[in-house]
Amino acid sequence: MSKLQVRAFLYQLGCFAILFIAFRFLIAAYTGLTGIWIPFTAFVIGTIVGPKFQAVRTKDGEKLFMKWLFIKGIKEIS
């Protein structure tokens, strides 16, 4: 794995973790869900809403890109 692939993985993991924890507390506080359904629902929402990072090898070298539900198109990170 290259340096940018590791960075993309860490960005993806960090964003998912932040969203998962936030949605887990919001779901527990504002819905009637109990038990395993709270983290399961937070997992699904975090997966859908979280940004996707990917390292791509281009003719100019390897670059890091991000695609997110709330941003139109694909953004170049580095």
Any bridge partners for residue 52, and if so which? 67
pLDDT digits (tens, 9 = 90+) for 58-73: 999 999 999 999 999 9
Q: Indicate if the pLDDT at residue 78 is higher than 80.
A: no
pLDDT digits (tens, 9 = 90+) for 5-58: 999 999 999 999 999 999 999 999 999 999 999 999 999 999 999 999 999 999
Q: The pTM is what?
A: 0.89
Those residues with Cβ within 8 angstroms of residue 7's Cβ, 6 or more apart along the chain or in another chain: 53, 55, 64
Residue 4 CB-density burial (10 A; 0-12 exposed, 13-18 middle, 19+ buried): buried
| 2 confidence band (pLDDT: 50, 70, 90) | confident
